[in-house]
Amino acid sequence: MLESRRERQLSADAAKIGGGKEKVDLAGLRIGLLSSHTEVAKAAETMLRRRYTWAKEEEADTLVALGGDGFMLQTLHAMLDAGVPKPVFGMNRGTVGFLMNEWRLDRLAERIAGAKAIRVAPLQMTATTVSGEIFRHAAINEVSLLRETRQTAKIEILVNGRVALPELACDGVLVATPAGSTAYNLSARGPILPLQAKMLALTPISPFRPRRWSGAILPDDTAVCFRILEAKNRPVSAVADQKEVREVAKVEVRLDRERSLTLLFDPEHALDERIAMEQFAT
């Protein structure tokens, strides 16, 4: 298969990097490297491997991740599944890169040593389907419930075991962490939560009734339960970040502090400050 012009240029740029320079040892610092499968991320990986020596992923204490926000979430979920969370320093070789640092080739060891550590705790979703199957998935950004057909979803919402809203007629509803409050939650007109707020956002998606209910901000130790009304006639799916469970009857969501994750940021580019400044975005 012939390379595209962009692939050839990226390969040529990568070949120029590192010539005449001694490699910097990051393996001794137990720093490993991961990248997404996009050509831009792979070209950046080639440059970094020419400039630095790296520890194997399984032997690393810290990881550098190249890609976009989707790849960062994929990396964090893989660590949650493996039960071995490691600090991650992301560099943006994707589109938005809200969870990533700026891409730069030089002084990487110094950047990681001086990085600001931000700890985030995931949500734990327990979804029970109409047929009685139970699925458990983690969500770093949000857990969202979405109607599967043209039929409006009807959902009962319980907070700490008490019915808070007997019936929400809507396209869906979501629970977002502070880290995820600027993602889908913000698009659904939910509030931006500062990272230190210790709150969760409960946000309706296109609510029909009650029409004026705009959601709620809850303490992050709150247990939220969604019961799907008329679940067979009005099917609803539950999505924990990218993991979907279809035809759910009940969805329970709570914060899982025991599996917190650590993201590393350049001090001038830290996630907590970026989330706060999103309140002033126009």
The catalytic site residues sit at 69
Q: Which residues, 6+ apart, have CB-to-CB distance to 95 below 8 Å? A: 68, 69
238 marked ligand binding residue: no
φ and ψ at residue 155, rounded to 5 degrees:
-130, 130
Tell me: is residue 171 an annotated ligand-binding position: yes
Provide the 3-class DSSP secondary structure of residue 58: helix
- Amino acid letter for position 19: G
Q: Is 282 annotated as a binding residue?
A: no
Termini Cα distance of the chain: 44
Give the whole-angstrom CA distance, residue 45 versus residue 14.
9
Any known ligand binding at 184? yes
Q: What is the DSSP letter of 103?
A: P
The verdict on whether residue 185 carries a ligand-binding annotation is yes
Instruction: Give just the sign of the alpha carbon dihedral 238, 244, 249, 253.
Output: negative
Q: Is 52 marked as a binding-site residue? A: no
Q: Is residue 183 marked as binding?
A: yes
Q: DSSP assignment of 171-237, as one string?
A: EEEEEE-TTTTTTHHHHTTPPP--GGG-EEEEEEEEEEESTT---EEEETT--EEEEEETTTTS-EE
276 annotated to bind ligand: no
Neighbouring CB atoms inside 10 A of 225's CB total 19
* Distance between CA atoms of residues 70 and 36, nearest Å: 9
Residue list for the binding site for NAD(+): 69-70, 141-142, 171, 179, 182-187
